[in-house]
Structure formats: structure tokens, C-alpha cells
Amino acid sequence: MRRALWTTDGLDVTEVELGPLADGRARLRVAACGICGSDLHWWHGSMPRPLGTAPGHELAGTVVDGPAGLDDVLYAVSPNVSCGRCQFCQVGQTHLCDRALGRGLGMGADGGLSEVLDVPVANLAPVTTDRPAVAALTEPLAVALRGVSLGDVGPDSRVLVLGAGTIGLGAALLARDRASEVAITARHPHQADAAAAMGVTVLGEHEGIAWAKERGADVVIESVGGTAPTLGDAVKAARKGGTIVLLGSFTEPRPVDLSKLMMKELRLQGSFCYGSTKRGPEYAAAARLTGRFESELSAMTTHQFPLDQVTDAFEAAADKSSGAIKVTILPN
């Protein structure tokens, strides 16, 4: 069985021996695994690599061994591995687990850049699509779903999404079905094309504030992160009494005008990963949406590579001018 493992130089596809299947686990034949922005932080060396482990937390596949009663269907797999005992796990917010750091699939424990992977049975979520690359988008769709939910997006909401990467496009797609109006800023033409196909208003990279001043943005969803100035843009764009949802992962502290934040009575809402609501786990909810949004999600899966070309895949994912939105690896 082959697996792409982190080394000091990058990723090396290596033969690995599988041990006995542990209790509570299922053995998954990985059909597809997406490359995420956090994977690229490791690729570029801006975060210490978990050496000797396989990345990949956006994964889907079929079960080849496990407890009796599992359906023979395509599953997405939540990468979150929590302790099950802390105050957050006890109320279903496992993404906030006090002991989760370094335990997640592809985030310290071996992930989906593997031909076969043992995963917790509890993390399996049946999807409603038969396309593995779309199924692998369950994870970023779940991230977007939590952000849209925490932003209280409703029928009267005007929503501005900053950034048209995978998370931003997912947020715009979900907001489209809840809000009265949705606009998204896009840096690259291929991102703009994907957003336009969703039926939302497409703006240039720096046109969000002007749109918001004219239309009034009830909810601004920031999805860029990194070192971008988009948090400050969100404060300027949100209407008085509005909400800013932070979905982007910032790699360094960013300045924000606290006076404007206070005087406009803005609500600044962080959104990390996905948890549970009264309706149940958000990851499972996102998995159920994959069939409904199959066309839009398929348009986001721009590049596919076999496991042997993992280096080419990461280089394509790192170069947004290549036309990449979601780069997917097909290990089998």
C-alpha cells in the first residue's frame, strides 16, 4: 500500500505496511483527496511539517473492511479526531476539543494521500453524489456551512463574500439558497467564472467595499486569510449593526479599526471548522448536500492527479494563476 509522506524536502510516495484493523475503525479505499490551503502552508514551510505522516483531510472513499452493517456506498470522512471527554466534546462541539491538536486525519495523523487508510467509523458520512472528487469537497463545504450558519444568513440578508477560493465559493453557494442577494470578490478569471455559474454577483478583487456601500452588506464573510488586508475591508464593507464572519485562516496578526468596529456596532464572528447544531453534525449535513450541488461543486474541481504526481499536484494548487480552484488527488 502506498502513501505520500511528509519529508524535509516535500512529499515522498512510499510503500507502507498496514497493521491489524483496530476496534471502532474502518479500512477505507481512498477514492479522492483534495489539497487544502493548510496543506500548502506545510508545503511552503510556513508551518512545521508533521514529518513521516501523510497529509490530506478532504477525503472520500469506500469501505473494504470494518464492522458489520456498514453500507457499500461512497463516504466522505471527517478528519476531526477528538477526545470525547472534554467539555466541548460533551456538547457535540468536537472541533473545539481541548486535546485535538495533532490528532486529526492529515493533520498529524495519517490522512487521505494514501491508497488505503484506517479511519474512525464514527467519522464516516455517506454522500449523495457518485463522483469521488465532489464527495471529497464535503470537508470545505462543511467549513462554509458553519460560517454561513454562524452569520445568521436569512431570506432578507445581503451577503458579501470576500475571496473566491474553495471556501469562499462554498459560502457563496450556500448563502445563495438562504439570502436575498449574494456577491463575491474574485481575483482570478477562473474563480469569477465558477462564481458566475452559481448565479451570484461577481465583483473584482477590490470592488467589494463599493458594492457594499451601495447595497448594504448585512453579512460579510471573509475567506481569504493569509496576509491579506481583507479583515479591514470587511469592517469597512459591513453595514451598521452587521456581522463579519471570519472563515479565512490568517498566518499573521492583521490590523483592524476597533473604533469603526465599535461605532458601527459590528459583530465579529470567528468560524472554525464545523461542529453540531440542533439539526445534527454539520459535516454530515454537508455530505447530504453534495448531490444537490453536484454541478456547482464539479466546476470547482479543476485539476486531478494520480498519487505518483503528488508534487505536480501541490505545485498546481499553489499557483492560482494556473486556473486551479480545487486540486484533487486520486490515489487509486
Q: Are residues 237 and 292 in the same domain?
A: no
pLDDT band at 92 (very low <50, low <70, confident <90, very high): confident
Q: Are residues 288 and 264 in the same domain?
A: no
* Alpha-carbon separation of residue 17 from 7, 20, 115, 117 (angstroms): 18, 10, 12, 11
On whether the CB atoms of residues 238 and 264 are closer than 8 A, the answer is: yes
Most confident of 99-108, 174-183, 272-281: 174-183
Residue 146 belongs to a domain: no
Mean pLDDT of 80-106: 86
Query: Domain end: 218, 248, 270, which one?
Result: 270
pLDDT at position 66 over 80: yes
Q: Are residues 162 and 261 in the same domain?
A: yes
Mean pLDDT of 35-48: 91
Residue corresponding to grid cell 477505507 = 28
Mean pLDDT of 274-284: 89
CB atoms within 10 A of CB 67: 12
- Residue 258 burial by Cβ neighbours in a 10 Å radius (0-12, 13-18, 19+): exposed
pLDDT band at 102 (very low <50, low <70, confident <90, very high): low
Residue 172 belongs to a domain: yes
Q: Are residues 18 and 126 in the same domain?
A: yes
DSSP conformation class of 82? -
User: What's the whole-number average pLDDT of the chain?
Assistant: 95
Q: Are residues 134 and 216 in the same domain?
A: no
Mean pLDDT of 254-281: 92
Mean pLDDT of 238-258: 92
Mean pLDDT of 76-104: 87
Mean pLDDT of 9-20: 96
pLDDT at position 269 over 80: yes
Q: Are residues 177 and 49 in the same domain?
A: no
Q: Which residue has the higher pLDDT, 115 or 277?
A: 115
CATH of the domain at 68: 3.90.180.10
On whether the CB atoms of residues 166 and 297 are closer than 8 A, the answer is: no
Q: Are residues 9 and 48 in the same domain?
A: yes
pLDDT at position 47 is: 85
pLDDT at position 127 is: 99
Provide the residue type at 175 as one letter: A
Task: Report the number of distinct structural domains present in the chain.
Answer: 2
pLDDT band at 101 (very low <50, low <70, confident <90, very high): low
Provide the residue type at 56 as one letter: G
Report yes or no on whether pTM surpasses 0.85: yes
Query: Domain end: 228, 250, 270, which one?
Result: 270
Mean pLDDT of 115-127: 97
Provide the residue type at 244 as one letter: I
pLDDT band at 320 (very low <50, low <70, confident <90, very high): confident
Residue 147 belongs to a domain: no
* Domain enclosing residue 304, as ranges: 2-140+276-330
